[in-house]
Amino acid sequence: MKSLLSGPDEVIAVVTQPDREKGRGRKVVTSPVKDLALQEGLSVFQPEKAKEEAFQKELGSLQPDLFVVIAYGQILPLPVLKIPKHGAINVHASLLPKYRGAAPIAWAILRGEGITGVTTMMMDKGMDTGDILLQKSVPIEKDETGETLHDRLAAVGAQLLQESLEGMKAGTLRPIPQDHSKATYAPPLKKTDGLIDWRKEAIEIDRLVRGLNPWPGAFAEWEGKSLKIYKGEVRKGGASAKPGVVVWVGSNFIEVATGRDSFLIKEVQMEGKKRMSIRDFLPGHPITSGVVLGETK
């Protein structure tokens, strides 16, 4: 959004999700998009559903030339897409038609991809099915997390959007239909998706930890509470033991047996506590060898 505001085109209004209650105190929190829009003196719309007639009427009254949609969280109905004179552009964090859907960044890491990227496309009534304008590839680093990849793709996406807008105005872009036979999907994630199955290979657990960082987070059960795991690494040829068993406790890591190799836990957050390194965690939480993560006390 900042790149649009600093660009040559006029932003006349912003649509974002309604304010939501968050945290233990259930405090109503506004989105960063709304906060920035209000700072810039822009009109802000926050419909519960984009199909609301009153909302569509308000949008139509603005007579926009183009919509720009980024991670809005709803499929826009055709009446909305027909409002702007030149249609709607979506910036999507994958190389479409791969990873259509709500969580392309996390799923690219979960599935062990080496490359992902950003796509700009013209929106239609489907879910990420519109014609492609531009794409740019981005390598996924070995220690990449959902958070770091998000930030890198956001920067690439901002630049690609500006290039797409310039190409549209110059008449040099030719939208290319997607090959729907090659489509793959990135469905929404739930908190329960983060529960670690220690029977899986350590490399799969590592991808889960990285891909779900920061949300919803990978976790294991310990003493009846959730132990969220933010950082770790694979140890090839780790000690043979029942998956989930702590086989070694070092000063900077906890080694856990998996279905293949072992996984070294290095950074955690106990339920109700702050995030911390294993070095800081162990003095107050004496996990010992032989403990099984996933079993209650």
| Statement: residue 296 has pLDDT above 80 | no
β-sheet bridge partners, residue 273: none
CATH topology of domain 48-182: Rossmann fold (3.40.50)
Query: 191-284 maps to which CATH number?
Result: 3.10.25.10
pLDDT of 208 higher than 80: yes
SS3 152: helix
Of 166, 134, 181, residue with least CA distance to 7: 166
User: What gap in Å lies between CA 20 and CA 28, rounded to an integer?
Assistant: 5
Which one-letter DSSP state was computed for residue 219? E
**Residue 70, class by beta-carbon neighbours within 10 Å (0-12 exposed, 13-18 middle, 19+ buried)?**
middle
Domain ranges (residues) in the chain: 1-46, 48-182, 191-284
Going by pLDDT thresholds of 50, 70 and 90, the confidence category of residue 19 is very high
Residue 2 has pLDDT above 90, yes or no: no
Confidence band (pLDDT; 50, 70, 90) for 267? very high
Whether 136 has a pLDDT exceeding 90, the answer reads: yes
Which of 20, 129, 148, 14 lies closest to 69, judged by CA? 14
Residue 130 is given by DSSP the state S
Whole-angstrom Cα distance, residue 165 to residue 257? 51
Q: pLDDT category, 29, cuts 50, 70, 90? A: confident
Residues 6 or more apart whose Cβ sits within 8 Å of residue 112: 203, 207
Encode pLDDT of 78-133 as tens digits. Answer: 999 999 999 999 999 999 999 999 999 999 999 999 999 999 999 999 999 999 99
Tokens in use for 184? 């793959």
pLDDT at residue 295 in the model: 64
